Homo-oligomer: A and B are copies of this chain.
């Protein structure tokens, strides 16, 4: 991978330079993680000056964030083939591959780890990354509800936590490996449901126990 360093070219349009810096930032981050990520290396890789990079990105952190989103967005796009189950499987497998076969997993662990005691970093993560990613996922899930492929009363936001959140759980607390098979099973479990034949159907059970309805 890695874009070759370009020097001595004629003046490029600003949009092009900006896009190349972003690409370079994303590539460098996924190759080396935050430890090896510097504005200088990004500038060199993009054939731009540090001054130019700083014109658009005030800090190393902001550049890393935007580079991360730019690099991962295409891989993490939410396909819509009309089959939500197949689409979730392929998107989650891409997520797992990105987290386990590139430095993305390490970058996420480093950033989210630091964000636990750094409110500014957490705010940036939510605004620039997890918020927009969650919105895209919910949009795809809501389309599947509208198409009757998911039950209408499913909580799309909660489903985000039970699919991608379950993967984050294995990434951040690695008691067990994060694999594509694991991702597949998350989808299986949700589509098949977990109720065994000896379990009472939920409405009857709740009535019998006097548990108040919670919706």
Q: How far is the CA of A209 from the CA of B182 in the complex (A)?
A: 21
Q: Interface residues of A toward B: which range?
A: 35 or more
Q: How far is the CA of A193 from the CA of B162 in the complex (A)?
A: 12
Known: A193-B191, A193-B193. A157 touches B176 (CB 8 A): yes
Chain A contact residues: helix, strand, loop or mixed: helix
Q: Flag if A112 contacts B192 (CB, 8 Å).
A: no
Q: From residue A121, how far is it (CB to closest CB) to chain B in Å?
A: 10
Q: Flag if A196 contacts B149 (CB, 8 Å).
A: yes
Q: Flag if B113 contacts A173 (CB, 8 Å).
A: no
Q: Flag if B189 contacts A159 (CB, 8 Å).
A: yes
Q: Flag if B110 contacts A148 (CB, 8 Å).
A: no
Known: A85-B202, A165-B166, A196-B144. A158 touches B185 (CB 8 A): yes
